Amino acid sequence: SMLFNLETAIVSGTDRYPEKAPFDPPRQFPELLFRSRPVDPTNGVYPMIRESLRLLGMDITHFDSREWNPMGELISPGDRVLIKPNFVLHWNAGGGPLEAVVTHASVLRGLADYVLIALKGQGSLIIGDAPQMNCDLPTLFSRNGLEPVQLKGSSLLSSIFGKNKLITRLGSCGNASA
């Protein structure tokens, strides 16, 4: 089973996160559901996520085709999927870059797209974490790029913000027209 596979994929590529939310892929990969979305040629993270999934052998027989569903071995239509990012604080207490303590939104976007492929229009995707009590979530989202991804206007996105928690639901995947 893939859940007990201890393989690791090491991918070389960019050492910078893209700056332009909503972090669209750099080109229209054949497997992507949202073919009408624009591309962002500066997004080097998206192809690294894609290459990691390929190197792990996830649905390798369909790689680079419309049928490629790398998360399909782990996720079935109708499932409720949680992506648990690392949202600690809205600033780096050690003085370094914010990216050292939080998951960048470009990584979440790439993973979310492949989860949505596996869900095939049924089920839900939740991106959720419980950061430290003194974390200012709106500031964190603004700084790491998640806020513009949420505000994209997709019928899939809705968020529940609390004082120190976030649940972003990419639910009702059957409305995946954005």
Model confidence at 60: pLDDT above 90: yes
The predicted structure's pLDDT at residue 164:
47
82-98 tens-digit pLDDT: 888 888 889 999 999 99
Of 7-11, 81-85, 170-174, the least confident: 170-174
121-143 tens-digit pLDDT: 888 888 888 888 888 888 888 88
pTM to 2 decimal places: 0.81
The predicted structure's pLDDT at residue 51:
96
Element (H, E) at 131: none
Q: Would you list the domain boundaries of the chain?
A: 2-175
Task: Please state, as a whole number, how many other Cβ atoms lie within 10 Å of the Cβ of residue 62.
Answer: 15
Model confidence at 103: pLDDT above 50: yes
* C-beta contacts of 134-140 below 8 A and 24+ residues apart: 134/89, 134/164, 135/87, 135/88, 135/89, 135/90, 135/164, 136/90, 137/87, 137/90, 137/161, 137/164, 137/165, 137/166, 139/90, 140/87, 140/89, 140/90, 140/98, 140/102
What letters, b where the CB count within 10 A reaches 16 and e where it falls short, cover 88-127? bbbbeeeeeebeebbbbbbbbbbbbbbbbbbbbeebbbbb
Closest CA to 174 of 49, 61, 77: 77
